Structure 1
Amino acid sequence: MAFPTAVNNQITDSVTQANTQVVAISPAVAMGNLYQATAQALANAAHNATMAQQQMFVTAQAATTAGVALLYSLDTASTGAATTKILGK
């Protein structure tokens, strides 16, 4: 306990105990903050990976659609060229 002051000893003890508690729980609070920040970072990484995968699927679908359209147009072009040769125009 602190040396005698003009303040009541019970008040001095109460303030001292509150300050001691703050110092005592600070490592636990720091670890809690670290865990929370780590969890947030991992969640962001998982979200970014999911979004990248979705965008990759959209790009792959667009490429497939373009490829199929190209195949269909080649068939139509070759049919048109053959028809032109046959008809002699």
Structure 2
Amino acid sequence: MSDTNVNPQITDAVTQANVKVVGDAPAIAMGNLYQAAAKSTGILFQNATGTQQQGALAEASTNQGVMQIYAMDTAADAATQVKVAETGVADNLTGLLTVLESFKDKGNP
């Protein structure tokens, strides 16, 4: 390394710039920390609000379903279910096929 003389004003300017960077680093770090904390808190509140809204919708839909269950006439519903169970889909289709065959036998194409 060669021995060169550098103007003291230049070395002073470089030193002052380095000191400024070192002096500003803690303040910048704290600013970044506060911004990150604020963003995290905002996301936390958004998630909490969304969860509350979903809970309210779930409760409303459950209440609606219970109201529909209580509004049913259970005796009439049971009779309808027995009737549907007694006459299955296969019986209905067989009856329909028999009717169609009877029209075909009468000379209709």
* Percent identity between the two aligned chains: 41
Q: CA RMSD in A?
A: 2.2
Please report the TM-score for the alignment, with normalisation by the length of structure 1.
0.73
Alpha-carbon separation, structure 2, partners of 1:28 and 1:16: 20
Q: Tell me the equivalent position of 2:74.
A: 77
1:35 aligns with 2:34: yes
Q: Tell me the equivalent position of 1:9.
A: 8
Unaligned 5+ residue runs, structure 1?
A: 82-89
Q: Tell me the equivalent position of 1:84.
A: none
Post-superposition offset of 1:5: 4.2
Change (3 A) 1:50 1:5: farther
Unaligned 5+ residue runs, structure 2?
A: 78-109
- Give, as a single letter, the amino acid of the residue that structure 2 aligns with 1:38: A
Question: Per the alignment, in what secondary structure is the counterpart of residue 29 of structure 1?
Answer: helix
For residues 32-64 of structure 1, the C-alpha deviation after alignment (integer angstroms, 9 at most, x for no partner) is: 111111111111111110011011011101101
Alpha-carbon separation, structure 1, partners of 2:50 and 2:4: 64
Please report the TM-score for the alignment, with normalisation by the length of structure 2.
0.61
Alpha-carbon separation, structure 1, partners of 2:61 and 2:6: 78
The structure showing larger relative contact order (alpha-carbon pairs under 8 Å, at least 6 residues apart) is 1
> Which of the two has higher C-alpha Rg?
2
Deviating above 4 A after TM superposition, structure 1's stretches of 4 or more consecutive aligned residues are: none
